[in-house]
Amino acid sequence: MADRNHLALDVASALASGYDDDDFPAVQPDAHGEMTMFELHHPAGLMTMPADPTADGVGQTMIYGYKGPDGFAWLLNDPRIQGKLPRLKPNESYLYGPLGNGVRCHADGTISTFTTDQSPDQKSVFWQVRPNAFRQIAPWGSIQFDANGWHLKHVSQARIDLGAIGGLPAPLDALSSYITLSAATINLQATLLALGSASGASDPPAKSTPLLAALGAISTALGAIQTTLAALVGTGTGPGAPAAITASATAVGAAETAIAAGQITIPATGVTVA
Protein backbone atom coordinates (compact mmCIF):
# COMPACT_ATOMS: atom_id res chain seq x y z
CA MET A 1 0.00 0.00 0.00
CA ALA A 2 1.29 3.45 -0.89
CA ASP A 3 -0.15 6.15 1.41
CA ARG A 4 -2.31 4.89 4.27
CA ASN A 5 -3.60 8.39 4.93
CA HIS A 6 -5.68 7.98 1.75
CA LEU A 7 -7.94 5.13 0.73
CA ALA A 8 -5.75 3.21 -1.71
CA LEU A 9 -7.46 0.06 -3.03
CA ASP A 10 -6.16 -3.32 -4.10
CA VAL A 11 -7.73 -6.55 -5.36
CA ALA A 12 -7.54 -9.93 -3.62
CA SER A 13 -9.56 -13.07 -2.91
CA ALA A 14 -11.55 -13.50 0.28
CA LEU A 15 -9.64 -15.93 2.46
CA ALA A 16 -11.86 -15.98 5.53
CA SER A 17 -14.89 -14.14 6.85
CA GLY A 18 -16.78 -13.66 10.07
CA TYR A 19 -17.58 -10.95 12.61
CA ASP A 20 -15.16 -8.74 14.53
CA ASP A 21 -15.27 -7.85 18.22
CA ASP A 22 -17.91 -5.20 17.52
CA ASP A 23 -20.11 -7.81 15.79
CA PHE A 24 -19.46 -6.15 12.43
CA PRO A 25 -19.01 -8.29 9.29
CA ALA A 26 -15.36 -8.73 8.43
CA VAL A 27 -13.24 -10.44 5.77
CA GLN A 28 -9.57 -11.31 5.37
CA PRO A 29 -7.85 -10.89 1.98
CA ASP A 30 -5.36 -13.46 0.76
CA ALA A 31 -2.80 -10.74 -0.01
CA HIS A 32 0.74 -11.42 1.13
CA GLY A 33 1.38 -10.11 4.62
CA GLU A 34 -2.24 -9.13 5.29
CA MET A 35 -3.43 -11.19 8.23
CA THR A 36 -5.97 -8.79 9.70
CA MET A 37 -9.72 -8.77 9.22
CA PHE A 38 -11.13 -5.82 7.28
CA GLU A 39 -14.51 -4.25 7.89
CA LEU A 40 -16.83 -5.62 5.21
CA HIS A 41 -19.14 -3.11 3.54
CA HIS A 42 -22.03 -3.58 1.14
CA PRO A 43 -24.25 -1.61 -1.21
CA ALA A 44 -27.26 -0.22 0.64
CA GLY A 45 -29.85 -2.92 1.35
CA LEU A 46 -27.67 -5.87 0.29
CA MET A 47 -25.57 -7.90 2.73
CA THR A 48 -23.35 -10.77 1.59
CA MET A 49 -20.84 -13.04 3.31
CA PRO A 50 -18.34 -14.78 1.03
CA ALA A 51 -17.99 -18.56 0.88
CA ASP A 52 -14.71 -20.07 2.02
CA PRO A 53 -12.17 -20.59 -0.75
CA THR A 54 -11.89 -24.00 -2.39
CA ALA A 55 -8.96 -26.33 -1.81
CA ASP A 56 -7.14 -24.89 -4.82
CA GLY A 57 -7.44 -21.37 -3.41
CA VAL A 58 -10.27 -20.03 -5.56
CA GLY A 59 -12.39 -17.58 -3.59
CA GLN A 60 -14.61 -14.58 -4.00
CA THR A 61 -12.94 -11.51 -5.43
CA MET A 62 -12.76 -8.46 -3.17
CA ILE A 63 -11.26 -5.02 -3.06
CA TYR A 64 -9.72 -3.70 0.15
CA GLY A 65 -7.73 -0.77 1.38
CA TYR A 66 -6.69 1.39 4.31
CA LYS A 67 -7.56 4.85 5.40
CA GLY A 68 -5.18 5.60 8.18
CA PRO A 69 -5.07 2.58 10.49
CA ASP A 70 -8.51 1.36 9.48
CA GLY A 71 -9.08 -1.31 6.84
CA PHE A 72 -12.16 -1.57 4.63
CA ALA A 73 -13.30 -4.23 2.14
CA TRP A 74 -15.99 -4.72 -0.51
CA LEU A 75 -16.94 -7.98 -2.20
CA LEU A 76 -16.93 -8.36 -5.98
CA ASN A 77 -17.77 -11.23 -8.33
CA ASP A 78 -17.33 -14.89 -7.36
CA PRO A 79 -15.77 -16.82 -10.28
CA ARG A 80 -17.17 -20.09 -8.91
CA ILE A 81 -20.75 -18.90 -9.42
CA GLN A 82 -20.40 -17.03 -12.71
CA GLY A 83 -20.98 -20.13 -14.85
CA LYS A 84 -24.32 -20.77 -13.11
CA LEU A 85 -25.75 -17.34 -13.89
CA PRO A 86 -27.93 -16.49 -16.91
CA ARG A 87 -26.62 -14.34 -19.74
CA LEU A 88 -28.12 -10.92 -19.22
CA LYS A 89 -29.48 -8.66 -21.92
CA PRO A 90 -28.67 -4.94 -21.97
CA ASN A 91 -30.32 -3.02 -19.12
CA GLU A 92 -30.98 -6.15 -17.03
CA SER A 93 -29.78 -7.00 -13.52
CA TYR A 94 -29.57 -10.16 -11.42
CA LEU A 95 -29.39 -10.61 -7.67
CA TYR A 96 -27.92 -14.08 -7.25
CA GLY A 97 -27.12 -16.73 -4.66
CA PRO A 98 -24.51 -19.50 -4.47
CA LEU A 99 -26.43 -21.98 -6.65
CA GLY A 100 -27.29 -19.54 -9.42
CA ASN A 101 -30.64 -18.92 -7.74
CA GLY A 102 -31.73 -15.32 -7.75
CA VAL A 103 -34.02 -12.49 -8.77
CA ARG A 104 -33.77 -11.15 -12.32
CA CYS A 105 -35.10 -7.79 -13.47
CA HIS A 106 -35.76 -8.12 -17.20
CA ALA A 107 -35.54 -5.29 -19.68
CA ASP A 108 -39.27 -5.58 -20.49
CA GLY A 109 -40.31 -5.01 -16.85
CA THR A 110 -40.67 -8.68 -15.88
CA ILE A 111 -39.29 -9.81 -12.51
CA SER A 112 -38.30 -13.50 -12.18
CA THR A 113 -37.49 -15.40 -8.99
CA PHE A 114 -35.45 -18.41 -10.07
CA THR A 115 -33.92 -21.59 -8.69
CA THR A 116 -33.61 -25.21 -9.82
CA ASP A 117 -34.92 -28.49 -8.40
CA GLN A 118 -31.29 -29.45 -7.62
CA SER A 119 -31.64 -32.62 -9.69
CA PRO A 120 -28.75 -33.74 -11.94
CA ASP A 121 -30.41 -32.12 -14.98
CA GLN A 122 -31.15 -28.88 -13.03
CA LYS A 123 -34.77 -28.30 -14.05
CA SER A 124 -35.96 -24.72 -13.66
CA VAL A 125 -38.29 -23.61 -10.87
CA PHE A 126 -39.35 -19.99 -11.19
CA TRP A 127 -42.03 -17.39 -10.47
CA GLN A 128 -42.54 -14.41 -12.77
CA VAL A 129 -44.34 -11.11 -12.31
CA ARG A 130 -44.88 -9.79 -15.84
CA PRO A 131 -46.46 -6.54 -16.97
CA ASN A 132 -49.43 -8.59 -18.23
CA ALA A 133 -49.38 -11.86 -16.25
CA PHE A 134 -48.26 -13.91 -13.26
CA ARG A 135 -46.54 -17.23 -14.02
CA GLN A 136 -45.18 -20.19 -12.03
CA ILE A 137 -43.22 -22.88 -13.82
CA ALA A 138 -41.79 -26.06 -12.25
CA PRO A 139 -41.15 -29.70 -13.20
CA TRP A 140 -44.40 -30.68 -11.45
CA GLY A 141 -46.71 -28.21 -13.18
CA SER A 142 -47.52 -24.60 -13.98
CA ILE A 143 -49.83 -21.72 -13.01
CA GLN A 144 -50.71 -18.72 -15.15
CA PHE A 145 -52.96 -15.79 -14.30
CA ASP A 146 -53.58 -13.16 -16.96
CA ALA A 147 -56.36 -11.39 -18.85
CA ASN A 148 -57.55 -14.75 -20.25
CA GLY A 149 -58.12 -16.25 -16.80
CA TRP A 150 -56.43 -18.48 -14.22
CA HIS A 151 -54.97 -21.83 -15.28
CA LEU A 152 -53.47 -24.48 -13.02
CA LYS A 153 -51.98 -27.60 -14.62
CA HIS A 154 -50.32 -30.46 -12.74
CA VAL A 155 -47.92 -32.92 -14.33
CA SER A 156 -50.54 -35.64 -13.66
CA GLN A 157 -52.81 -33.81 -16.18
CA ALA A 158 -55.19 -32.68 -13.44
CA ARG A 159 -56.06 -29.05 -14.11
CA ILE A 160 -58.33 -26.12 -13.28
CA ASP A 161 -59.20 -23.42 -15.81
CA LEU A 162 -61.38 -20.39 -15.28
CA GLY A 163 -61.92 -17.14 -17.10
CA ALA A 164 -64.16 -15.08 -19.31
CA ILE A 165 -66.27 -16.14 -22.29
CA GLY A 166 -66.82 -13.73 -25.15
CA GLY A 167 -68.08 -13.59 -28.70
CA LEU A 168 -71.03 -15.96 -28.30
CA PRO A 169 -74.27 -15.19 -30.21
CA ALA A 170 -77.50 -14.36 -28.37
CA PRO A 171 -78.87 -15.76 -26.14
CA LEU A 172 -75.59 -17.46 -25.21
CA ASP A 173 -73.88 -14.06 -24.86
CA ALA A 174 -75.33 -13.98 -21.31
CA LEU A 175 -72.75 -16.65 -20.42
CA SER A 176 -69.79 -14.45 -19.47
CA SER A 177 -67.52 -16.80 -17.50
CA TYR A 178 -66.55 -20.44 -17.02
CA ILE A 179 -64.73 -22.86 -14.71
CA THR A 180 -63.44 -26.23 -15.86
CA LEU A 181 -62.19 -29.01 -13.57
CA SER A 182 -60.38 -31.86 -15.26
CA ALA A 183 -58.95 -34.96 -13.58
CA ALA A 184 -59.20 -38.74 -13.58
CA THR A 185 -61.33 -38.51 -10.42
CA ILE A 186 -63.09 -35.53 -8.80
CA ASN A 187 -64.42 -35.66 -5.23
CA LEU A 188 -66.45 -32.76 -3.80
CA GLN A 189 -67.07 -32.70 -0.04
CA ALA A 190 -68.90 -29.98 1.87
CA THR A 191 -71.46 -29.47 4.63
CA LEU A 192 -73.64 -27.63 2.10
CA LEU A 193 -73.13 -27.75 -1.65
CA ALA A 194 -75.69 -26.29 -4.08
CA LEU A 195 -75.79 -26.68 -7.85
CA GLY A 196 -77.70 -24.33 -10.11
CA SER A 197 -78.11 -20.63 -10.87
CA ALA A 198 -77.11 -18.21 -8.13
CA SER A 199 -80.23 -16.16 -8.88
CA GLY A 200 -82.62 -19.05 -9.52
CA ALA A 201 -83.60 -22.41 -8.08
CA SER A 202 -80.88 -24.76 -6.94
CA ASP A 203 -80.79 -28.14 -5.29
CA PRO A 204 -78.12 -29.63 -3.08
CA PRO A 205 -76.57 -32.63 -4.87
CA ALA A 206 -77.22 -34.71 -1.76
CA LYS A 207 -80.83 -34.99 -3.00
CA SER A 208 -79.82 -36.69 -6.22
CA THR A 209 -79.28 -40.23 -4.93
CA PRO A 210 -82.48 -40.59 -2.83
CA LEU A 211 -84.51 -38.78 -5.50
CA LEU A 212 -83.35 -41.19 -8.19
CA ALA A 213 -84.09 -44.13 -5.92
CA ALA A 214 -87.63 -42.82 -5.30
CA LEU A 215 -88.22 -42.21 -9.01
CA GLY A 216 -87.03 -45.73 -9.74
CA ALA A 217 -89.45 -47.22 -7.19
CA ILE A 218 -92.38 -45.17 -8.56
CA SER A 219 -91.50 -46.17 -12.09
CA THR A 220 -91.52 -49.85 -11.10
CA ALA A 221 -94.93 -49.46 -9.41
CA LEU A 222 -96.37 -47.66 -12.42
CA GLY A 223 -95.05 -50.37 -14.67
CA ALA A 224 -96.92 -52.98 -12.65
CA ILE A 225 -100.11 -50.88 -12.80
CA GLN A 226 -99.76 -50.45 -16.56
CA THR A 227 -99.37 -54.20 -17.00
CA THR A 228 -102.57 -54.79 -15.00
CA LEU A 229 -104.47 -52.14 -16.94
CA ALA A 230 -103.32 -53.61 -20.21
CA ALA A 231 -104.64 -56.99 -19.09
CA LEU A 232 -108.00 -55.45 -18.17
CA VAL A 233 -108.22 -53.75 -21.57
CA GLY A 234 -107.69 -57.11 -23.15
CA THR A 235 -110.60 -58.71 -21.19
CA GLY A 236 -112.90 -55.70 -21.62
CA THR A 237 -113.85 -55.75 -17.88
CA GLY A 238 -113.80 -53.05 -15.21
CA PRO A 239 -115.62 -49.70 -14.74
CA GLY A 240 -115.89 -47.79 -18.02
CA ALA A 241 -113.90 -50.41 -19.86
CA PRO A 242 -112.31 -50.31 -22.22
CA ALA A 243 -112.07 -46.54 -22.88
CA ALA A 244 -111.32 -45.43 -19.28
CA ILE A 245 -108.79 -48.21 -18.78
CA THR A 246 -107.08 -47.37 -22.04
CA ALA A 247 -106.83 -43.70 -21.02
CA SER A 248 -105.44 -44.67 -17.62
CA ALA A 249 -102.85 -46.92 -19.22
CA THR A 250 -101.82 -44.09 -21.55
CA ALA A 251 -101.46 -41.68 -18.58
CA VAL A 252 -99.36 -44.18 -16.67
CA GLY A 253 -97.13 -44.67 -19.72
CA ALA A 254 -96.65 -40.91 -20.04
CA ALA A 255 -95.69 -40.73 -16.35
CA GLU A 256 -93.12 -43.48 -16.80
CA THR A 257 -91.60 -41.61 -19.76
CA ALA A 258 -91.39 -38.40 -17.71
CA ILE A 259 -89.74 -40.24 -14.81
CA ALA A 260 -87.20 -41.82 -17.14
CA ALA A 261 -86.33 -38.39 -18.48
CA GLY A 262 -86.10 -37.02 -14.94
CA GLN A 263 -83.63 -39.71 -14.00
CA ILE A 264 -81.26 -38.44 -16.67
CA THR A 265 -81.49 -34.70 -15.99
CA ILE A 266 -83.16 -33.09 -12.99
CA PRO A 267 -84.51 -29.78 -14.34
CA ALA A 268 -84.16 -27.89 -11.05
CA THR A 269 -80.40 -28.28 -11.15
CA GLY A 270 -79.72 -28.54 -14.85
CA VAL A 271 -76.97 -31.03 -13.97
CA THR A 272 -76.75 -34.53 -15.35
CA VAL A 273 -76.87 -36.95 -12.42
CA ALA A 274 -77.31 -40.39 -13.96
CATH number of the domain residue 68 falls in: 2.40.50
Highest mean pLDDT among 176-185, 206-215, 262-271: 176-185
Residue 197 falls inside a structural domain:
no
258 pLDDT more than 90: no
pLDDT of residue 206: 54
CA angle at 193 for the pair 187 and 197, rounded to the nearest 5°? 115
User: 123 and 40 in one domain?
Assistant: no
Question: pTM (2 decimals)?
Answer: 0.63
What would you report as the CA-atom Rg of the chain, rounded to the nearest whole angstrom? 38
34 pLDDT more than 80: no
pLDDT of residue 3: 53
- Tell me which residue range forms the domain holding 57: 8-78
Residue 2 falls inside a structural domain:
no
Residue 1 falls inside a structural domain:
no
Average pLDDT over residues 41-67: 89
Average pLDDT over residues 184-207: 71
Domain end call among 78, 102, 123: 78
User: 162 and 98 in one domain?
Assistant: yes
Residue 195 falls inside a structural domain:
no
Phi and psi of 153, rounded to 5°?
-130, 125
Higher per-residue confidence, 210 vs 93: 93
pLDDT of residue 270: 44
User: 207 and 177 in one domain?
Assistant: no
In contact, 57 and 79? CB cutoff 8 Å = no
User: 106 and 179 in one domain?
Assistant: yes
pLDDT of residue 272: 41
User: 135 and 70 in one domain?
Assistant: no
Residue 39 falls inside a structural domain:
yes
How many domains, in total, are found in the chain?
A: 3
User: 177 and 102 in one domain?
Assistant: yes
User: 265 and 206 in one domain?
Assistant: yes
Of 81-85, 110-114, 117-121, the range with the lowest mean pLDDT is 117-121
Domain end call among 159, 186, 213: 186
Domain end call among 78, 106, 135: 78
pLDDT of residue 6: 64
Separation in Å, CA 125 to CA 77, 78, 93, 111, 143: 24, 23, 19, 14, 12
